[in-house]
Structure 1
């Protein structure tokens, strides 16, 4: 089964699915399947973090970069898009994860908002001014 994994990933996935459906566990490529599942979990967490980051950057620009008021409708549209994507993926466990990492995400978001706006990072709040509910629905 290893050759299929390395040469034709999609076919390998289809074969693994069929083997699992049939209950033919002896022929399942467990090593690669475990690696694939770990990769998918890691990728999903990264996507959630990225969406929360993009939402916070745009909220900071909306709330603190008053000179660029004409850009607010664009940023609101961006927030809506990222919130839609995030809410589509969100589970209870994802909410717990985001609550744990929101401060870390905020620091990166603040840095990015500072670079976009040209304002010093000190212009933005020291700690994240947005709750998870704000990030998901504001």
Structure 2
């Protein structure tokens, strides 16, 4: 299979492209590897991990805000969601420790998104929520932390 055929395979049968690429790499047939698409896929994997981390962080922040500012509506569902998304964050960081500093760099931006979503879900004015994130990373990741 030529490199041109391999690139076409990438567009027409992704799974077969992966299997063929892995086989070529294992066999040391580096000249036949579709390097351009392989490098793109590897870069996409890192972006995907960061997007997942950010998404889970926003959900945790959203539920912490709702827990703190809409205490009359607290539910086991919110607490369960907090645990689930905290565990996802913890698992991601355990699998890729380099994501922890990234989590800290996206905290402020993620918090802003979470406050906008909290406003939409609670009906509370945006000004109800602090303008800066009141939770540190350790609290965000702590299964037992629930704000008053």
Unaligned runs of 5+ in 2: 1-5
Structure 2-normalised TM-score?
0.87
Q: Which residue of 1 aligns with 2:53?
A: 48
| Alignment coverage as a number of residue pairs | 136
Runs of 4+ in 1 over 3 A off after TM superposition: none
Alignment of 1:28-107 (within 5 A): 28-69=33-74, 71=75, 73-90=76-93, 91-107=96-112
SS of equivalent to 1:16 = helix
Higher helix share: 1
Provide Cα deviations, 1:30-75, integer angstroms capped at 9, x if missing partner. Answer: 0110111111111111111000000000011011112313x3x211
Provide Cα deviations, 1:87-114, integer angstroms capped at 9, x if missing partner. Answer: 1111321010010110000000011111
Unaligned runs of 5+ in 1: none
The separation in 1 between residues aligned to 2:104 and 2:22, in whole angstroms, is 34
Structure 1-normalised TM-score?
0.93
Q: Which residue of 2 aligns with 1:129?
A: 134
Structure 1 residue corresponding to 2:29, chosen from 3, 24, 27: 24
1:111 and 2:116 equivalent?
A: yes
RMSD over equivalenced CA pairs, Å:
1.1
